[in-house]
Amino acid sequence: MRLKITQTKSSIGHKYDQLATLRALGIRRMQHTVIHNDTPQIRGMVHKLRHLLKVEEIS
């Protein structure tokens, strides 16, 4: 299983650790989409940024 992660809201004004988590996911700008394997680490990052992201499961 893989996750398609898209940033839907701006990160301006959010805490530094949230910005660092976006960078760790490989997301660079609004509407940028990345695909990651579904692991507990990635799920944790997505949970931390759930207010900024849209996540879809793909097989």
CB 11 within 8 A of CB 53: no
> pLDDT tens digit string along 14-45?
999 999 999 999 999 999 999 999 999 999 99
Mention every residue, 6+ apart, whose C-beta is less than 8 A from residue 30: 7, 8, 9, 10
Count Cβ atoms below 10 Å from residue 37 Cβ, excluding itself. 9
**pLDDT over 90 (residue 47):** yes
Is beta strand 33-37 parallel, antiparallel or unpaired with respect to 53-58? unpaired
Range of the domain at 22: 2-58
Kindly report the pTM of this predicted structure. 0.91
Give the number of domains in the chain: 1
Give the pair of three-digit tokens for residue 10: 């701006």
CATH number for 49 = 3.30.1390.20
**pLDDT over 90 (residue 59):** no
